[in-house]
Amino acid sequence: MITEKLQNAINEQITAEMWSSNLYLAMSFYMEKEGYNGMASWLKKQASEEKAHACEMASYIIKRGGKAKLDKIDVVPNDFGTPLEVFEQVAQHERRVSKMIDELVDVASAEKDKATQDFLEQVEEEATADGIVDMIKKAGDAGIFFVDSKLGERR
């Protein structure tokens, strides 16, 4: 059985993952409106991935005999600037989420729950956004639609 403290901490993370999902979906809508359909598609897939993280965490809590809960999800921004600025914000947000997961691992460690530590380390995603920021910088204005079409290839 998972401890109440850890269950609550993971439930908070579930809400944070859903906020991330909404953030990326809002970015996707924004980029589609701006005419960057490949980037919009990449961001929509990212949004689905965050929702999948929330579901994985919920299933994990339930499997460990706890109760998964969703809380109120705060409003997300709807305007994000240039493509470079959008992906800088994605990278920044990923770093913030990594830090949150690290803190959650610390809670699991304090509760001496090794299984949860292992589970959380699996969920933690690799920072792909930094690579995209780099690609956009190198491409410049002339290459931006090349990057857009590259990102549109994400499965």
- Is position 44 an interface residue for Mg ion (rule: CB under 5 A)? no
Identify which range of 45-53, 71-79, 80-88, 143-151 contacts Mg ion by CB under 5 A. Answer: 45-53
Choosing from 50, 88, 94, 113, the residue that interacts with Mg ion (CB under 5 A) is: 50
Nearer to Mg ion, 44 or 148 (CB): 44
Quick one: which of 76, 75, 81 has its CA closest to 36?
Answer: 81
Residues 3-42 that bind Mg ion (CB under 5 A): 17
How many residues in total does the chain contain? Answer: 155
User: Measured between alpha carbons, how far is 147 from 139 in angstroms, rounded to an integer?
Assistant: 7
- Is position 94 an interface residue for Mg ion (rule: CB under 5 A)? no
Nearer to Mg ion, 50 or 113 (CB): 50
In the complex, least distance from residue 97 CB atom to Mg ion, rounded to whole angstroms: 6
Quick one: which of 97, 3, 102, 107 has its CA closest to 54?
Answer: 97
Tokens linked to 80: 């994000």
Residue 63 half-sphere exposure, CB side, CA atoms within 13 Å? 9
> CA-based diameter of the chain, in Å?
56
- Is position 53 an interface residue for Mg ion (rule: CB under 5 A)? yes
Tokens linked to 91: 């990278």
Nearer to Mg ion, 122 or 149 (CB): 122
Which residues, in sequence order, are CB contacts of 97 under 8 Å at separation 6+?
16, 17, 20
In the complex, least distance from residue 19 CB atom to Mg ion, rounded to whole angstroms: 10
Identify which range of 50-58, 59-67, 73-81, 112-120 contacts Mg ion by CB under 5 A. Answer: 50-58
In the complex, least distance from residue 81 CB atom to Mg ion, rounded to whole angstroms: 23
Note the residues at the interface with Mg ion (CB under 5 A): 17, 50, 53
